[in-house]
Structure 1
Amino acid sequence: MASSSHRRSRPERRTGRVPVVTVIAVAAVALVVSLAVVFRPDGGGGDGGASAVAPVAGAARAAVSGSPTATGPAVSPSAKPKPKPSAGSPSATAGTTAKASATPSGTSSGSSAAHAEPATRAASGAAPLAGRIRPGAAYQGVATSYDIGNGDGACSYGPTSDVMTAAMNTADYETSKACGAYVLVRAGSGATITVRITNECPAPCAPGQLDLSHQAFTKLAALSVGRIPVTWSLLSPSTSDTISIRYKTGSTQYWCGIQAIGHRNPLARLEVRTSAGWTRLARTGYNYFLSEQGAGCGGAIRLTDVYGEQLTVEGIAVRANVVQSTRVQFARH
């Protein structure tokens, strides 16, 4: 007796030939209808044409929206896109302003110089108008001492009760450019003293040498030592004083000598305003700036320190040998 099989019989597969034929037939009819619409005399316009195009356009927008580079809605071709502010623009502008501000405003004129002045006051670092004595540099030499008497000297500041002063050697005195400079003097022992340059020490004083007041020298060594090796450097000290202007004895509107007193930083230039603009005056070895023909005497004065900062002073009349306050001061560096 034959045993019965436990396998299930495989169901018969349908070929589906009839549906395929049907689909082909329907597609052919649809194609004929489409061609009839396209070749209509009115070009396929009207609502029917618009309806046929709309899905295609929607599909295209969807494709664009799905693109990794698309981050926002589509922009109408007729709409002009607004430029996006650059994140780097403010810092670049500030850098340009800072750089321009660091430039001595004497190289420009008009309102730009006036706007550059506050930024220049805040700037520090290199001194573009410095001569032999530059900030940040250490100078080597020897220190000697002398009796300063009433405190007057080649810088023509006149008698003073300030005894912490020094005379600068001729090379570093640089035709009075060192006048009024504050320098920090350091001895080999480590002792230091700050002095203001009020005088010139002629030969045999060598470059780098400082001739200190007796009072200043004793802060570093005993007077009996005579001379000691030192290093010194320029300072921009803290001070509550303001700059004063003095016209030289004999000054008038036809000839004048002008001196600045009490400036925190060494003075590089003194200019007067004339009909031709700012005119730079020549500096003498006795620390006055001369206007030989009287140009600018009694007018506005512009002072520039070695850092390039400029201060404009108005309303200083020609009053010979009278110290007149300006109520301004150079910035500290």
Structure 2
Amino acid sequence: MRSMLPGAPWLLAHKSMLPVNQPLKVTLYGKDYVLWQDGTGTVQALPNRCPHMGAMLSEGWCEPLPDGDEGQSGIVCPFHALQFDGAGCTVLPGTQRKTLPQLQPLELIIQGDFIWSYGGHEPQIPIPSIMNEIAQAYDFIGPAADYSVETDLLSMLLVMHDYNHQNGTHRDLFRITSVDFHEFVDNGHQSHAMYDMVTDSYSWNEKLRKPDLLLMPDMIKAHIENHFPCLGILRVETALGKIAQCHFFLPEAENLTRTYILLFAQLTYPILKPFSRTFLKFGQVAVEQDVDILGKLYADAPKQIKLNNEVGMDWVRRNFDNFPKVVEPHLSK
């Protein structure tokens, strides 16, 4: 369990990923849960295993609560149609009385459209406030690239904070030829990395065949804002305006890590919003490439070479090894 950093906050979902009365299965710390949002906007979370015979509640459906207010709903087991409310209570067939709670709800912290949880553990570090700030300043574009990857949390975080891999892992689409690293600012569990990625230009014929490529700059000026261990934000300026691609990580099990992105934009003109979804496609491809490379690493291979500018990976290791404390060294450069 220590390798999954109990006491850290994890963003389970954005409400856009949770249509009203549509169950969603999520996994955290080796336990499966079912989430649902009712007609009042309330989000509930219960263990995904029906206490009768173990059916997956996420394979069931939602129905209005017979004793609830308008819009309130419970989750219905797909096996015997037992309905559970958000407290984990049900009414057994042939009775009129609600049972005591049969399932222990997962504690959620709802901040606007963001659904956070500590997975039942005592909080060790606070939920980063940056997502609330982004939601106020940017337009929400959408979610993408939701994957469960067969890798441990540390390996996932190391790859995502490796600023040297851009011209290898992401060469195919972005044609990144070099990475010019400028600055790393270490603020404990929060950090900033600034670097430029030089790209080979696409020809006009290629751009005409795939108009999305018109939005690809010759130089990608990246600002990565990191919040250990759950979040990395890629900030870039484009022809459409400012983009904030928020990249989340969650430990589903010891060797299974979930990752997904939420995209936000400050558009120069509102009419450009449909074009901003192109960056969702770019984000989807980038995550797919990261997921692919994670499956091509020998986990037990000794590291014999150290590259320049591995400061982001050093920052991850320091915080991982000492969680929840922040200790020296200070890695700003």
Q: Which has the higher contact order (CA 8 A, sep 6+)?
A: 2
TM-score above 0.5, yes or no? no
- State which structure, 1 or 2, has the greater radius of gyration over its C-alpha atoms: 1
Q: State the TM-score bracket (shorter-chain normalisation).
A: under 0.3
